[in-house]
């Protein structure tokens, strides 16, 4: 992509999409196309085709998706599989039909089999049973990967697929009921600190290990892949190390400044026991992350305090009134 390329960032208001938009702007890209849901419903095939026919898009970064944590996946599995299938089918097909030069599709480390050998190589996809707690989302996303690969083989469409580890950072969703584990814990520790609660209860045993990548590093990796990666094979994107959920909770507790104790609800599911990815394919292209977990947590909590904390949102509402 050169600085004048016409680039469509699908999902620019989400965690990943907003970071990609920031990174593109920082890199000097000037012809960026964005549409919110009121302007373009990506689940509407006719609207998506008309958009691509009209806009002359050259490159697409497909970061739009319906996402959520274990609880959201369990409650809204039908929404997760339907909406993600519609979004990716419409965008990938319309992009190919309109002659887009290159498309980046984002998968997730949660697509890999529940008991995949660690660290997880890209070849492990579909090699074993999925984690049941996010199966509808995973099935949809695997279909998107397969679609990109099939369109490359049949039509010569230059689509690449990246598999991010767990992402976090500014712009995240902090609802304790529907968010992913890390932002959900930030919110719960923050609320407990303000309320003076003596304990915070976490789901599961705390023993599962997860790999976390700061979202601005992910955005940087996306631009790097658009310029330096061209293969039908999926590629893992992560820092290459992981942490137990219990240890992550302790880090977040310290970052927030909560002084109470942690307990575990063992009746709740753990999800994948471990999801550490092999990132040797990515690192071989010359890319490395820059932000440590400790620094990323500090930046994320600072952003939360300024933009998403309940007391901040209430103050903003009162000021507007």
| CATH number of the domain bearing residue 195 | 3.40.50.720
Angle at 247 between CA 179 and CA 293, to 5 degrees: 70
Q: CA-to-CA distance for 310 and 194, rounded, in angstroms?
A: 11
* Residue 155, domain member (yes or no): yes
* Residue 320, domain member (yes or no): no
Output the pLDDT for position 68: 76
Output the pLDDT for position 134: 87
- What residues contact 224, with CB distance under 8 A and at least 6 apart? 285, 286, 287
* Residue 237, domain member (yes or no): yes
* Residue 116, domain member (yes or no): yes
Domain ranges, residue 85: 7-311
Overall number of domains in the chain: 1
- What residues contact 222, with CB distance under 8 A and at least 6 apart? 16, 20, 23, 61, 104, 106, 162
Output the pLDDT for position 132: 86
* Residue 302, domain member (yes or no): yes
The verdict on whether residue 14 carries a ligand-binding annotation is yes
Q: CA-to-CA distance for 236 and 247, rounded, in angstroms?
A: 24
Of 55, 63, 59, which Cα lies nearest the Cα of 18?
63
Q: CA-to-CA distance for 244 and 257, rounded, in angstroms?
A: 20
pLDDT averaged per 10 residues, the chain (length 321): 96 95 96 97 98 98 88 86 98 98 96 92 96 91 98 98 96 82 93 96 91 98 97 97 96 96 89 87 97 98 92 45 43
* Residue 318, domain member (yes or no): no
Output the pLDDT for position 81: 96
The verdict on whether residue 200 carries a ligand-binding annotation is no
Q: Which helix (H) or strand (E) is 163 found in, with range?
A: strand 159-164
Q: Catalytic amino acids?
A: 137
Q: CA-to-CA distance for 137 and 129, rounded, in angstroms?
A: 14
Question: What is each CA distance from 173 to 180, 197, 198, 309, in whole angstroms?
Answer: 8, 23, 25, 11
* Residue 295, domain member (yes or no): yes
The verdict on whether residue 17 carries a ligand-binding annotation is yes
Would you say 186 and 69 are in contact if contact means Cβ atoms under 8 Å apart?
no
Output the pLDDT for position 312: 55
Q: Report the residue count for the chain.
A: 321
* Residue 317, domain member (yes or no): no
């Amino acid at each position: 992509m050169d600085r004048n390329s016409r680039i469509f960032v699908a999902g620019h208001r989400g965690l990943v999409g907003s970071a990609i938009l920031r990174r593109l702007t920082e890199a000097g890209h000037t012809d960026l196309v964005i549409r919110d849901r009121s302007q373009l419903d990506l689940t509407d095939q006719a609207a998506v085709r008309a958009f691509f026919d009209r806009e002359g898009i050259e490159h697409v970064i497909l970061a739009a998706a319906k996402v959520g944590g274990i609880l959201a996946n369990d409650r809204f599995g039908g929404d997760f599989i339907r909406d993600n299938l519609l979004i990716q089918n419409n965008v990938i097909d319309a992009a190919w039909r309109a002659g887009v030069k290159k498309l980046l599709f984002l998968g997730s480390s949660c697509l890999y089999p529940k008991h995949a050998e660690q660290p997880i190589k890209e070849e492990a996809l579909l090699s074993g049973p999925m984690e049941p707690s996010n199966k509808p989302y995973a099935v949809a996303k695997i279909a998107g990967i397969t679609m990109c690969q099939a369109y490359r083989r049949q039509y010569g469409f230059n689509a690449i697929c990246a598999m991010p580890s767990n992402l976090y950072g500014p712009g995240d969703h902090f609802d304790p009921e529907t968010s992913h584990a890390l932002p959900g814990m930030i919110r719960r520790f923050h609320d407990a600190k303000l309320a003076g609660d003596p304990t915070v209860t976490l789901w599961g045993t705390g023993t599962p290990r997860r790999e976390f990548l700061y979202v601005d590093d992910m955005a940087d990796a996306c631009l790097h892949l658009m310029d330096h990666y061209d293969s039908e094979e999926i590629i893992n994107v992560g820092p290459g190390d992981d942490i137990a959920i219990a240890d992550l909770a302790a880090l977040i507790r310290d970052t927030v400044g909560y002084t109470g104790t942690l307990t575990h609800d063992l009746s709740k599911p753990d999800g994948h026991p471990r999801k550490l990815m092999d990132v040797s394919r990515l690192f071989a292209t010359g890319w490395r992350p820059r932000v440590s977990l400790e620094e990323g947590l500090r930046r994320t909590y600072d952003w939360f305090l300024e933009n998403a904390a309940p007391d901040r949102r209430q103050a903003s509402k009162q000021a507007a009134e």
